[in-house]
Structure 1
Amino acid sequence: MSPAPLHSVSVAAAVIDDDGRILAIRRRDNSHWEPPGGVIELGETIHDGLRREVNEETGLVVEPDALTGVYKNMNRGIVALVFRCYLVGGSEHTSSETDRVAWLTPDEVRNRMSEAYAVRLLDALPTDEPRPAIRTHDGEHVKP
């Protein structure tokens, strides 16, 4: 019998402003641009984990609206749930995990983020396509 698979579950927020820009963070440890979010703690609800992670990384308070995508990193066993969220308060600031908080256009998202992270935010943009998107990736590139 094979051992039980080990997976972790993470959450990320796609917050879109009135100008169509999307909230993003640059990680302090590797300078990569990503959506704000992180791993859900044991005993924490999905939405509570999302709110906590966004607030810790950006200083902003968000409220989840809709699940827009489910993404699995096939190499690391991480399943990420991405929610379109709306801003309800807070004050923008960096943290021990982030050295930049920015509102990026969709083109800036494509140019600054690896495909595996950019697609999470681009999938959250309003569209007529069915939701949620379900994708796999290798940490950098989306797999067909």
Structure 2
Amino acid sequence: MPETPKHSVSVAGVVIDEAERVLLIQRRDNGHWEPPGGVLELGEGFTEGVCREVHEETGLTIDVDRLTGVYKNMTRGVVVIVFRCRALDGTIHPTDEAARVEWCELSEALSLMNEAYAVRISDAYKDTPPTRTHDGVRLTAHT
């Protein structure tokens, strides 16, 4: 019997403020801009995980509003569950994982990221959550 493929499950928070700006981090490990998030821990719920990751990477305490999309990196086998969120408390600041943490206008945010991450932001501004696949950079035809 063949071995069952292994997947990793991650969560990300698209935090949007009252001015409709979105919160982005610039990762320390690769310099890429993206919404805060990371690997879901065993025994951790989805919203609990996104709250933890956003706080660890930005300093903010958040409230999770709603699911905005599910994405799979077909190359690495990573499934990411993305939620639209709003800030409750805290001050953004660089962290061990984020070299920079910035509030950005939507157009600026989209221009900073590759397609596989930018779509997570634009999808958070829509009413219906999509499911999408990508190769780590570009969206693939199978959505």
TM-score w.r.t. length of structure 1? 0.94
Tell me how far apart the structure 2 counterparts of residues 105 and 90 of structure 1 sit (CA, whole Å): 20
- State the match for 2:118 in structure 1: 118
> Match of 2:131, as an amino acid?
I
Q: Give the conservation status (yes or no) of the 8 Å contact 2:71–2:79.
A: yes
Q: 1:50-78 CA deviation, whole Å, 9 max, x = no partner?
A: 11100000000111110000000000000
Structure 1 residues 128-143: aligned runs within 5 Å: 129=127, 131-143=128-140
* Identity across the alignment (%): 55
Measure, in 2, the Cα distance between the counterparts of 1:115 and 1:87.
Answer: 25
Please identify, of 105-114 and 78-87, the stretch whose mean Cα deviation from structure 2 is larger: 105-114
In 2, Cα distance between equivalents of 1:99 and 1:47? 24
TM-score, length of structure 2 as denominator length:
0.95
Counterpart residue number, 1:17: 17
**Structure 1: 5+ residue runs without aligned partners?**
none
Task: Write the distance in 2 (CA, Å) between the matches of 1:143 and 1:77.
Answer: 14
What is the CA–CA distance in structure 1 between the aligned matches of 2:23 and 2:72, rounded to whole Å? 21
In the alignment of these two chains, the number of paired residues is 141
Contact map agreement 2:110 2:121 (CA 8 A) in 1: no
Question: How far, CA to CA, are the matches of 1:39 and 1:29 in structure 2?
Answer: 15
> What is the root-mean-square deviation in Å for CA atoms of aligned residues?
1.0
Residue type of the alignment partner of 1:99: A
Q: What is the deviation of 1:92? A: 1.1
Instruction: Provide Cα deviations, 1:120-140, integer angstroms capped at 9, x if missing partner.
Output: 011001x3x5x2111000000
For structure 2, list consecutive stretches of 5 or more residues without a partner in the other structure: none
SS in 2 for 1:123: helix
Q: CA deviation at 1:49?
A: 0.8
